[in-house]
C-alpha cells in the first residue's frame, strides 16, 4: 500500500497535477506566432513551373523554433505557403525567396539531391534576387518571374 493512506495521497497528488496542467496551458497559449495566408505563382521564361519548391528565408528577426515556410507549385505554378500545417501561412516579415525544381525519376518520384532544372542562382537566398514582404491579412505575391539570365 505505501506510507500514506489513500485519501492523503489524493490530497497531495491531485493539486500538484492540477498545477502542472494549468501551467502547461498558460505557457503554450502565450507564445503562438500569428501566421498570414500567402499565395503566389512561379513562372520560368513566362511559363508556369509545376512541382517547384518555394522556400522563404527570413531577412530579419524570426520566431525561434518556427520552421521556414515552404510550398510546392501545382501544374499552373500556383502555391500556398506552409509553415507548420498545410496552407497555414507565414509570420509577418521580410523574406528572400528561393525556388528549385528537381528532376524526376522514371517512376515520377523526385530524387533527393536530383538535378535542379531551374537556374542555380534561384536555389540560394544569397544569390536569388527574389524578395517578398508578408503583412497582416491575406498576401497575394506578384508572380515570381524566373529567367535564364
Give tens-digit pLDDT for 8-22: 444 444 444 443 333
74 and 99 fall within a common domain: yes
12, 85, 91, 92, 145 from 80: Cα distances, Å: 50, 11, 14, 15, 17
Whether 27 and 87 map to the same domain: the answer is no
Do 78 and 112 belong together in one domain? yes
Note the pLDDT tens digit of each residue in 99-118: 999 987 666 565 556 799 99
Q: 88-107 as b/e, with b when 16 or more CB fall inside 10 Å?
A: ebbbebebbbbbbbbeeeee
Percent of the chain with pLDDT over 70: 73
Residue span of the structural domain in which 15 resides: 1-32
Task: Residue 26: count other Cβ atoms within 10 Å of its Cβ.
Answer: 9
Pair 91, 67: CB distance under 8 Å: no
Tally of structural domains, the chain: 2
- Asked whether residue 17 falls in the same domain as residue 72, the answer is no
Amino acid at each position: 500500500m505505501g506510507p500514506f493512506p489513500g485519501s492523503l495521497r489524493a490530497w497531495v497528488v491531485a493539486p500538484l497535477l492540477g498545477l502542472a496542467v494549468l501551467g502547461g496551458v498558460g505557457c503554450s497559449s502565450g507564445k503562438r506566432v500569428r501566421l498570414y495566408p500567402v499565395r503566389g505563382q512561379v513562372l520560368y521564361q513566362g511559363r508556369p513551373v509545376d512541382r517547384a519548391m518555394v522556400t522563404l528565408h527570413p531577412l530579419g528577426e524570426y520566431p525561434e523554433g518556427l520552421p521556414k515556410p515552404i510550398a510546392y507549385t501545382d501544374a499552373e505554378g500556383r502555391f500556398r505557403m506552409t509553415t507548420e500545417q498545410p496552407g497555414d501561412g507565414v509570420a509577418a516579415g521580410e523574406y528572400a525567396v528561393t525556388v528549385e525544381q528537381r528532376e524526376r525519376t522514371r517512376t515520377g518520384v523526385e530524387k533527393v539531391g536530383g538535378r535542379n532544372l531551374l537556374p542555380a542562382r534561384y536555389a540560394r537566398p544569397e544569390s536569388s534576387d527574389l524578395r517578398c514582404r508578408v503583412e497582416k491579412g491575406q498576401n497575394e505575391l506578384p508572380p515570381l518571374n524566373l529567367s535564364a539570365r
